[in-house]
Each structure stands twice: as C-alpha cells, then as structure tokens.
C-alpha cells in the first residue's frame, strides 16, 4: 500500500518543546523544507499538559509566552493557509486528559491542588469540558484535514470507576472488581483482558460524545486517536481492544507510536502497524524525528529514521509522522541541542535537513 501521508509532528504548547515560540516565518521555513522533502502532512499538537492556542474556555491555561496565544490564533490561521498553499495537510492534535489543576478548577481524586493531572473522562465534570474543548478546536480548525484526540494515562482504577466497572462486568460475564483486583491492574498488560476491555468501552463512550460535539459544529474532517502500546524489555502490550474500538468508531483512524527501534522491533511492527491494519483501521505511525529525549540512544538518530522509513514502506501504514522538527536554542524537553551536537549535527536545522534527505532517498516517489 502506498503511504498516503508523510510529515512532521510538532507541539505549539509551552513546556513541550520550543516550537511554542515559532513565528509565522519559522512555520513557513518548516513548511518549505517539508514540501522540498516530499512531505505532505503536518500534525500540530495545540494542547498537551499546557495549552498552545488562544481559548475562550476559562479553565484552560493561557501562557502569553506562547506565540500562537499571543497572536490570538492569527499564527495558527496563517499556518493553515501556508500549508494549504503548499498542498500540506494539517491535523490538529489535543491531549484532552492532561490539565493544569489550578486553572482547570476540578480537584483530582488525589486531592492535589497544583501542578498537572491526567483526568479520566468518567470523573465528574470532565467529559463535558473535553467535549467543549474539541467543539472549540473544530470551530478554529478551518481547513484542517483532521483532528487527533489524545486520551492517554487514564487507565487507573480510581474509586469513581469501580461501580461502572462492576455493572459492565455483570452485563458481560466478567470478574467483579474485587476478584480482578487480586491481579495487578495494568491497562497495558495484555493478560488483564477484562480491565482493558472495560477501559476501551469507556474511552469509546467518550470518543462518541466528542465526535457528536465536533460534528455539531459543521466540521467534516477526519478523526483519529492515539492507541498506545507499551514496549518494554521482553514484552509489548496493546492498551486498547482494537477490534472493539473499530466496531464503536468505524470511521476513526488509529495513531500508534514507538521511539526506540532497538527494543522489540518486530513487536513494534506487529502492535503499531499490522494489528490496527488487520482490524480495518486507517493507521498512522509516529516515530522519533529530531528528538533526543530519553536515555542515550543505542543507535544513531539516522539509523532510527532509516528503520522507521523501511518498516512503514514494507508493512504499509496510511500515514507516518516524525516527532520533532528541530531544536530551538533554550530549554527543550524533546530535543536538546547539546545532545544533537554530540551526535554529529551542527544544529537542529541541520538534523532536520538530514532527515528529509534520507526520507527522499528511501520513500517511493510520491
């Protein structure tokens, strides 16, 4: 199958890389490089633990140091226009579960008063806000090709979820919570089928509410969500029941990711590429781009890029994004310029150029 979309994945949010300081000219240079390198897809993460777009919602943080927020979304609108002129598709990505506690104003089940927290959609008052956020994003999206709903780190068995689980388990002939709790509850552990299937159902309920809200705005673009895998020494796990997800959200796409291509490489292909395709899901894979975060790499960045490119061609995914476009000077949680220099790159921009060159060499002509 021919790769339909190929491009970069980058954050506009404070505390998630330095692209939050990009001006229109910076985005224009990136889009020009992408077009020259044969890329046709850009995923912009406009909400992570912090918010990277100007929002009217009073419970979303608004850091004025973020260029898009300071411009009152003018930069975002300009990027959408610039991308369209270059025939580059834009996806807007938002993490709906991770919020700044003080601004969000809902005390988490931990009781904490500050920092950030991953709120699951079953916690009172949360789903309504998630839907409102995506309605706002849909209204801002303009010509955006798609919206990605990211709902990670919501697998915990907080007390408010136990009655929901027990009712679901009773209806489906699964172990009650007290019995299940005798085992380690880990949504990413494939052996705990009941807990994983319950969480898949709860996510799908939330996704259906989000889709209803988005479509009510008139937005008709594509929808997708991240389907996490856990790749660790000796094992890999799928967090969601992909067949049930496909049944509940037949028109949604799956986004999978892996940044360490030396750890269980065949399992990565299986869980991130083959399994979602096998159940009929349009599949987008996210790999390590100009990104240095994590432990020192066992292989070079160039080898990571080559392995991902080879696999997406061989095994056939619908779309492929490289996470990270360059390293801007200053603190950067995703890409450190000093680390890049130790890897032989003179700058983040030079690394980006090298990645694009390798992509042009390895991918079939588009």
* pLDDT score, position 93: 98
pLDDT, one tens digit per residue, over 29-63 is 999 999 999 999 999 999 999 999 999 999 999 99
Return the structure tokens found at 187. Answer: 């949504």
The DSSP line for 75-142 is HHHHHHHHHHHTT-EEEEEEESSEEEHHHH----TT---SSEEE--TTSTTHHHHHHHHHHHHHHH-T
Query: Token pair for residue 91?
Result: 């996806």
Q: pLDDT in tens for each of the 366 residues of the chain?
A: 579 999 999 999 988 878 899 999 999 999 999 999 999 999 999 999 999 999 999 999 999 999 999 999 999 999 999 999 999 999 999 999 999 999 999 999 999 999 999 999 999 999 999 999 999 999 998 779 999 999 989 999 999 999 999 999 999 999 999 988 877 665 555 457 899 999 999 999 999 999 999 999 999 999 999 999 877 776 677 889 999 999 999 999 999 999 888 888 888 999 999 999 999 999 999 999 999 988 888 899 999 999 999 999 999 999 999 999 987 666 678 888 888 888 999 989 999 999 999 999 999 875
Which DSSP category does 272 fall into?
I
- Closest to 31 measured CA to CA, from 260, 356, 250, 270: 356
Q: Which domain holds residue 245?
A: 5-362
Report the domain count for the chain. Answer: 1
Q: How far is CA 138 from the centre of its chain?
A: 17
Q: What count of residues does the chain have?
A: 366
Helix (H) or strand (E) holding 342: helix 337-342
Helix (H) or strand (E) holding 200: helix 193-216
Question: How far, in Å, CA of 68 to CA of 57, rounded?
Answer: 16
Residues 257, 223 contacting (CB under 8 angstroms): no
Instruction: Decide: helix, strand or coil at residue 364.
Output: coil
CATH code for the domain of 207: 3.20.20.80
**Tokens encoding 263:** 């750890």
- CA 338 to CA 343: how far, in whole Å? 9
The structure tokens 């003018």 sit at 74
pLDDT for the residue 256: 96
Contact yes or no for 113/95 (Cβ under 8 A): no
Q: What are phi and psi of 344, to 5 degrees?
A: 100, 5
Note whether 27 and 75 are within 8 A (CB): yes
Contacts 24+ apart (CB under 8 A), 274-280: 274/315, 275/238, 275/242, 276/227, 276/242, 277/315, 277/316, 277/317, 279/242, 279/243, 279/246, 280/246
DSSP, residue by residue, 138-180 = HHH-TT-SEEEEE--S-----GGGHHHHHHHHHHHT---HHHH
């Amino acid at each position: 199958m021919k790769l339909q979309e190929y491009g970069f994945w980058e954050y506009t949010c404070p505390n998630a890389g330095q692209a939050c300081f990009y001006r229109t000219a910076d985005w224009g240079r990136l889009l020009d490089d992408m077009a020259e390198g044969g890329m046709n897809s850009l995923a912009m993460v406009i909400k992570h633990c912090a918010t990277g777009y100007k929002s009217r919602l009073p419970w979303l943080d608004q850091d004025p140091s973020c260029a898009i927020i300071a411009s009152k979304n003018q930069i975002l609108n300009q990027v959408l226009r610039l991308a369209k002129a270059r025939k580059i598709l834009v996806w807007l990505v938002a993490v709906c579960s991770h919020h700044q506690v003080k601004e969000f104003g809902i005390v988490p089940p931990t009781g904490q008063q500050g920092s950030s927290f991953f709120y699951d959609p079953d916690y009172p008052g949360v789903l309504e806000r998630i839907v409102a956020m995506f309605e706002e994003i849909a209204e801002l999206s303009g010509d955006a090709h798609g919206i990605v709903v990211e709902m990670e780190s919501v697998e915990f068995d907080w007390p408010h979820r136990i009655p929901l689980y027990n009712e679901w388990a009773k209806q489906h002939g699964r172990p009650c919570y007290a019995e299940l709790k005798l085992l380690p509850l880990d949504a990413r552990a494939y052996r705990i089928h009941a807990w994983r299937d319950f969480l898949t159902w709860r996510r799908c309920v939330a996704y259906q509410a989000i889709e209803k809200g988005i479509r009510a705005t008139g937005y008709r673009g594509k929808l997708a969500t991240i389907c996490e895998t856990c790749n660790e020494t000796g094992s890999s796990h799928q967090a969601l029941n992909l067949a049930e997800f496909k049944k509940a959200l037949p028109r949604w796409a799956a986004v999978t990711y892996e940044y360490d291509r030396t750890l269980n490489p065949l399992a990565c292909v299986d869980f991130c590429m083959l399994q979602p395709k096998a159940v009929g899901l349009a599949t987008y894979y996210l790999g390590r781009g100009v990104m240095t975060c994590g432990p020192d790499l066992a292989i070079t960045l160039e080898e990571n890029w080559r392995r991902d490119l080879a696999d997406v061609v061989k095994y056939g995914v619908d779309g492929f994004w490289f996470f990270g476009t360059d390293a801007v000077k200053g603190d950067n949680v995703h890409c450190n310029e000093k680390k890049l220099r130790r890897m032989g790159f003179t700058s983040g921009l030079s690394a980006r150029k090298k990645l694009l060159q390798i992509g042009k060499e390895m991918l079939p002509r588009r």
